[in-house]
Structure formats: structure tokens, C-alpha cells
Structure 1
């Protein structure tokens, strides 16, 4: 069935003609796959999230029907909560076929659906653009099993073309033109010129140890992203800075000359959140980093946490930056070790075997559950969690980065004789449900589920890993009942509801 181009798809095509005409044919060819990828992610949300206008769900041998408030019916295939390969090409709303996520949401007529539909339209068009920019010799970033593959973590990060594995807004970049996506997005492999804004030190909140090369007398030089400089800091004088490679997070970059990774503010909504940097995260950066380093020493070398080397804000979420240790420092490159973000494992050939996945899952689950038992819930999704691989490709230890959204339990720390860091605010909680949601919703229903790529592969690959886990209350909760995941679509359709909202997914580990 022919599907005419949507407004966002047409706009991207029109801009490509002027800024990168060589990509136009590839972009047009990628639209069908991008539509299916976003529609598959949307179907997962509709099938499992507690959306108030879905009043019932009827399963049959070959499909699922959603009963909608007002009497409508939405029909599709049996959903797989962990699928990462697009398998939904069409959904039927009251018998009418829909092949585009944006048009389907518009037709549903749900509250706040108009804005969400526009985001889905943009996500689909941007995803097609991202796929169009892949090298011809590197389809989906696949690695020749007999070749060396990329040698740097940054190259692996840039292979993650499709963005978030489960969010329908996997490539939503409102406020970014096509030219800006090509110039700044990691999957297009650009070099980005960061700027510097000079602010008097007394007007800043900053950690000790802010480097001398980012100071000018009594002024602090704050690295700023060029998109931010143009769209949010037009009133500031921006000096020339330094060249850097964008990483998976887009606003976090690795300087071409080496050294600390730079997390910049980027005041636009990417996927779900506006990517500025809060004063709270700057204020707590040093204490959280020192605490995490001490905690990692209890893990027998199986987990390293990248240190925060500096943090600064001009008392504005739009003008702030964090300097972070590169994860590569925890790999012995002379011995052939390399570091991959877990999100890139889908393109690492050994990770396609059940035996390798079981070995990796055993490492990831045992370490993250031990950290939780000690008192910290990591947000260990595929972007924050990295794995160090031996020269033969075996997973040997983990690296965790970005401490801005972990959760710390003082009660658990005290129970294990660990010092409680001098912190308050959103990072601190003893709520067991909140702690487990933070970890299980990232490492299980995010990182490990996406690496497996389907519920069946998840169950097969991780059965042996689950059987060897330590007998704790957290392990018991993990192995029984459903598993939590962020209700990302519900959150986008609930703009007046603060904080995370949750859905429950089938647990492929239950009963094993």
C-alpha cells in the first residue's frame, strides 16, 4: 500500500535537496523501514502501557486487539515486549489500515495526541535521515566477524544509528534542522566545534579542580555546544573552543585531542527530556563521584565508574558543563581489550550467540544486583552501561558513566557499614519500589532486553545467568512477577504529570 510522505518527511526531503543532495535517494529508500521501526515501538507502548483510553486488551492466537474508550478497536500482531527488529508494518483502527505512527495517533484523537503525533512524525523522518547516512560498507554498523572492527569506543557509539531501542521518539529532534542533524548527530560522524563562554568565577557554581586550560584569569571558560550557542545563548559572546566527536548522548562529546569527555547543556527535547544541566547535578557532582568511586572498590574490579573531573554552571541550566573521565581508561588496550556501550552490542557478532549473552547477563546482573544490595540503584541502560571485552571478545568487567540519575539508599549503606554521602534531594531514597524500578527498568527491560532483541532470545540466553544469582530479596523480586519499564508514551501524553510513570512487562526470567 502506498503511503504518501508526511509533513516532516517532506520537509526533510526538501531540505536535503539544498544541504546534502547526495543523501536524497538513500533517505527516500529508508522511509519505509523507519516507519515500521517507529510503528513497532509505538505498538509496544500501546500493548503494555497503562494508557487511560485503552479499556481492554483481547489476545488471540495470532494477534492483539485493544478496546478503546468510545468503542473503537485497534488490531495488530501479538506484541513482543523485547523485540528490536521492526515487525509491525500495519495496524488496523476500526478496520482501516495505518502504516504511519503519527497518522495513527492523530486518528486516535487522544488527549495531547496532536503534539505527540508531530514528535512521531519528526522521529520517523529523522530516523530515515540517520539510516541514510550509514556508510555503504557498514550496513547497520555490522562488523566483519574476521576483521578488527572499530578500535575506539567513540566509533562503536556512532554505530548506534536507531537511537532508543523502545521509545517511539527514538530519533525525535525538535528544533534541529536537517543541516544541524548532519553537523551534530553522532550517527553522521561529524567533528563538532565547541565554543567557550567566559564567566566570572564568582558568578559560577563549580567543583574544585576545574582545569587551568578552561580558565582565563578570574574567569571560567564553560564549553558550549554550537546548537546551544545559536539557539539559547545568542546574547553571550562565544569564543573559539576545540573540536570534538559527538557520542551517543549527542550533547556529550569526546575532544579530538583526547582528554575528558564534555557533557554540555542542550536546551531542546531529545527523545523525552530537555537536555539542560540542573544546578542540583552540578552541586552534587563531586560528592556523588567520590562516593561512587569508593563503592566500586567493593566490587572486586568488576565495575568501574567514570569519575567526574569537573562541573560548572553559571547558575543557569542553559550554561553549564560537566567533564567526565573517558570509559576507555578502564580497558587494557595493550592487551587487546576494548570498551563497547551495551547499546552497540546488537552489532557485535559474538553477542548474537546465546552463550555469549548468558555470560554477559551473568556479569551485568550479578554486579548491578550487588550494587543495589549495597545501596545504589544504577540507571544501567544501554547508553550509561559499557562492557570491557577481552582480546577474544569475552565480557570481563563493566564501566558505568553519568551519575546524574542514580538512586542512593542511606538505610542499605548503613546496613553494610558504608558511609552515607552528604547528599539530599532526588538522588536519595529508601523506597524499595523506587530503587528496583530504577535498576530493573534500565538493566533488564532496557539494556539486556534490547541486547537479546526478543522475548524468546531473552528467556533462552539469560536462564543460566538468572539461576546463578545470589539469593537476596532483590533477586527474588527480579525472578518473579512482571518487570517494570518506563511508560515512555504515557509520559509524553501526560505533560501535567511530573516524574516517571511505569508499565509492567512479561518477565522471561520468571520461574527459572
Structure 2
């Protein structure tokens, strides 16, 4: 419909040089990738509190007359956007075209550029990268053969489309095609992590740094090769093979723990290095979370932080965590929640209800104690029985949880004084947003795949949960969700911004 954005042509040009065999699949995949990103963008336009949208009209208008399957967004400058009636919980790419006044758009990057909103040009470029990288990721896939994966990192590498609701689901600015093929999990490479020697007396260490990552008086810090080339700008003469996980900067060491590396690139929403305070508090926070998980009757495991190290800067640091696989018993398997739709289990309403019961029971019991998990599909894994029943949860990466000292005190639980101040809050709405936004609007919604399926899975579970102010909010209030597009378009505002989604139980 329109000339391809620069990102498409750039990727095609690089592919012609490094993997020409992928060019036909890449070109064929671009329309589907545009629809996938446009669907995510339309969700944001219709549900996030974007300041340049005056109102959403559910008495829809399109050229030729009203339509029951469309809505109109009135912009403050008088223009109108028309598109399909949105399901904010849908994961299928159901939006193929929207109209700005009378002009049709099938490309999310060009739509955002033509909207002309503040900070829109930069975000439009990211959307173009998201489309191109998604088409590249899909083009590189081969038909699955043989038995399903037996290790959680193999499941993670089957997640091709990235974040189910973020328009930047596959945006990787700063990564060339060669680097995406070499480092991105969906391309299933073995990444060679550099081992950078740093004098031990010049490092901050939490927990136990293993002997095989030491060299005399020096510590060997695993470094992502992208970080070594673009940020540290130094070669390394020793390396370690690892399998990249869906977060890209975290990798599974064969037969061993997972290692979270510093990667100073914008992935999805933000640049995420490993801060010095997060290293110093990592082991303490891990032990604290383990003690709380022990109160949940074996329904929740926390992957232990084994060790963390930094040279005093966020650009050179690493965290070692247990593999979630250690929590699988005989005949059981551990599957990242983001990969559950790939198992076929989510087609069963009864299975979805059982999964909702497990996750809400764990999340709400921990919230009552005083901890709100950021339980999205990347942090949360489920242990399945030999018959695929959801048995227990495994949670990893505690960096963004929220802790309520007041709630903990009500249960006689002491808060370690060394916990980071930024994760402490007694604000009820902040705690609920953290859990409900990640678990209900994220994990359960993406697992169900639609608002109708989500409501059907939640209804019997919420009815049987103990009646508390937190569970009452699930019945009575809109569901909070991070306003991911608003956050990208308002870089001057720090921290999370929120949208309210219609409650599928009402």
C-alpha cells in the first residue's frame, strides 16, 4: 500500500549479503508482521490515556456509514482515526488497516509518523524496526519436528513474536541483521560470552562467585558480545558458550545456571543495564523472597541468586541465577508462561481455569503477605505434571517486585533494612497495579488469547477465592495495564504509566 520504510530495505539489503536464502520468506512475512505490530499499536491508541486523543467513540463511523465492527478516535486537532472494535486482550493480529480520516494505513510506522505527535518520529522508527525484525524472526523459522522441548530454554527459543502487547515487540535498534541472527533467541544460536578478567579487589560481589569464573586474584565477568563490541569496545580471548533466553541478555549455560549480562541496548521499552545497587542487594533479596515463598505450601519456587558481580559500573556486571529446571520433579517439565500457547494446552477452557486458579492463588496470597510480583510471561514459569496439569510456579528476576513493609508487619515479617528503597511501597494501588498489570493483563490475558476466554477462565476462580479487598478489586475495578506506548511517547516522565482495561468479569 505504501513504499516500504527504511528499516525494511535495510534488513533486506543486509540479508542479501549475509543470508540471501531468507529473503523470500522475509518479503512474504512483512504484511503479517505489519499487521501484528499494527494490532498492538491499535490496542494502545484505543485504551491508553494518550493526551492527543480526545475521546473514543463507540458509535463508530467509517467512510460509507456506521459500522458495528469499528470505533472512531477523535483527535484533539480535529482528525479522526477509524479501526476495528478492539479487544485489548487479543493476541491474534486482527488489525490489517486503519484510516486516518479517509486515508488507509496498513503500516504502523507510517501511521505514527503521519500522526505528527510529540516524540512520534523516534517511536515510528522503532516500530519500523519492530516490523522488520519480526518478519526476519518469522522468516528464519523451520517446521518443528520430533518431540517437544525438554528444557525451558528450548521453549523460550520457540517464542518468535516477542511481547504479546507491546508495539515494540521485536524492536532491536543497534543490532545489525548479522547480530540478530547471532544473538537473538528465536534464531537459536549458541552465543559466545566473553570472560573479562577484573581484579577481585576492584569488584563488588554478592553471594558466591563460582571458582570456574575465577582466575587467581581476578574474577571472570561474563560479557555479552554485543556489549563487548559496542559499549566496552574491547576484545576477549576467553569465552563461554550459552543459549540466549527470551530476554536476550539472559542466557542459559549448558548444564548450569542462567547468567544475566549487562546489555546497554534498548530492548522493547528501555535500556536495562545491571545497576550497582541491584548487584549489592541481589543475594539478600533472593533469600528474603525464598523465605516468603516457603509460606505458600510449595506452590511457588524462587530461582536463587547464586552470585552477582560488578566492577562498579552498570556496563560491566553479571548475575548468576539457578536454572528453573532444578524445580522439575520426575516426569515433570518447566515451561515459561509466554510459551504456553505453543503447547496446545491453552485451547482447553478447563486447563486455562486450572492455570488461572494456580497463578491467582499464588499472586494474591503473596500480595496479602506484602509482596507484589511482576508476574509477566518472561518472569513466570509453570511446572507441569506428567499429564500436563499446572502444579507449581517458578519465579525469576526479583529486580522489579514491590514490597509493602506495612503488610509484612501485619504478618509479623521483618523487612531486611538493606532491601532497595525503590521497591518499597505501602501504596495499595501501586501494589495492585504491579501484580494485576503483569499477571491478569499480561500473563493470563496472553495465555487465554482473548477477553472472552480470559473472562471465562477468571470467573469461577475469582468466585472461590477468599474475599479480601484485593480480590474484590478484581470484580469491581478496571484491570490496570502498563501504558507501554504512552511511556515511549513521554520520555520525560520516569517510571511506569498506566492504562485501565475493561474488566472481562463485568
TM-score range, shorter chain: over 0.9
Helix, strand or coil at the partner of 2:13: helix
Per-residue deviation, 1:473: 1.0
Change (3 A) 1:121 1:281: same
Distance in 1 (CA, whole Å) between partners of 2:149 and 2:228 is: 32
Number of corresponding residues: 497
Question: Which digits, 9 at most, give the CA deviation of each residue in 1:431-471, with x for residues without a partner?
Answer: 11111111000000000001011101111122111212121
**Mapping of 1:38-53 within 5 angstroms?**
38-53=37-52
Matching residue of 1:144: none
Distance in 1 (CA, whole Å) between partners of 2:355 and 2:87 is: 22
Per-residue deviation, 1:237: 5.2
**Deviates most, 440-449 or 414-423:** 414-423
Helix, strand or coil at the partner of 2:45: helix
Distance in 2 (CA, whole Å) between partners of 1:478 and 1:239 is: 54
**Mapping of 1:149-228 within 5 angstroms?**
149-228=148-227
TM-score normalised by structure 2 residue count:
0.97
Candidates 243, 252, 255, aligned match of 1:254: 252
Helix, strand or coil at the partner of 2:37: helix
Do the aligned residues in 2 keep the contact of 1:49 with 1:490 (CA within 8 Å)?
yes
Question: Which digits, 9 at most, give the CA deviation of each residue in 1:220-261, with x for residues without a partner?
Answer: 111000000000111x452312100001111100112x1110
Candidates 64, 81, 102, aligned match of 2:71: 64
Per-residue deviation, 1:208: 3.2
Question: Which digits, 9 at most, give the CA deviation of each residue in 1:167-220, with x for residues without a partner?
Answer: 000000000000000000000000000001111122111113111111112211
TM-score normalised by structure 1 residue count:
0.96
Candidates 128, 132, 140, aligned match of 2:139: 132
Does residue 118 (structure 1) correspond to residue 125 (structure 2)? The answer is: yes
Does residue 25 (structure 1) correspond to residue 24 (structure 2)? The answer is: yes
**Mapping of 1:99-114 within 5 angstroms?**
99-114=106-121
Do the aligned residues in 2 keep the contact of 1:466 with 1:509 (CA within 8 Å)?
no
Do the aligned residues in 1 keep the contact of 2:130 with 2:169 (CA within 8 Å)?
yes
Does residue 478 (structure 1) correspond to residue 483 (structure 2)? The answer is: no
Do the aligned residues in 2 keep the contact of 1:194 with 1:223 (CA within 8 Å)?
yes
Distance in 2 (CA, whole Å) between partners of 1:282 and 1:438 is: 22
Candidates 83, 88, 103, aligned match of 1:76: 83
Matching residue of 1:370: 365
Distance in 1 (CA, whole Å) between partners of 2:467 and 2:353 is: 18
Candidates 438, 442, 448, aligned match of 1:442: 438
Instruction: Name structure 1 gaps, 5 residues minimum.
Output: 139-146
Tell me how large the CA RMSD over aligned residues is.
Answer: 1.1
Does residue 389 (structure 1) correspond to residue 387 (structure 2)? The answer is: no
Distance in 2 (CA, whole Å) between partners of 1:209 and 1:442 is: 31
Do the aligned residues in 1 keep the contact of 2:433 with 2:481 (CA within 8 Å)?
yes
Helix, strand or coil at the partner of 1:64: strand
Matching residue of 1:313: 310
Distance in 2 (CA, whole Å) between partners of 1:452 and 1:108 is: 32
**Deviates most, 409-418 or 114-123:** 409-418
Candidates 323, 330, 346, aligned match of 2:341: 346
Do the aligned residues in 1 keep the contact of 2:274 with 2:318 (CA within 8 Å)?
yes
Does residue 271 (structure 1) correspond to residue 271 (structure 2)? The answer is: no
Do the aligned residues in 2 keep the contact of 1:366 with 1:470 (CA within 8 Å)?
no
Candidates 92, 116, 138, aligned match of 2:99: 92
Per-residue deviation, 1:56: 1.1
Structure 1 segments (4+ residues) deviating >4 Å: none
Distance in 2 (CA, whole Å) between partners of 1:509 and 1:386 is: 25
Does residue 403 (structure 1) correspond to residue 401 (structure 2)? The answer is: no
Question: Which digits, 9 at most, give the CA deviation of each residue in 1:350-380, with x for residues without a partner?
Answer: 2211110000000000110000000100000
Per-residue deviation, 1:275: 2.3
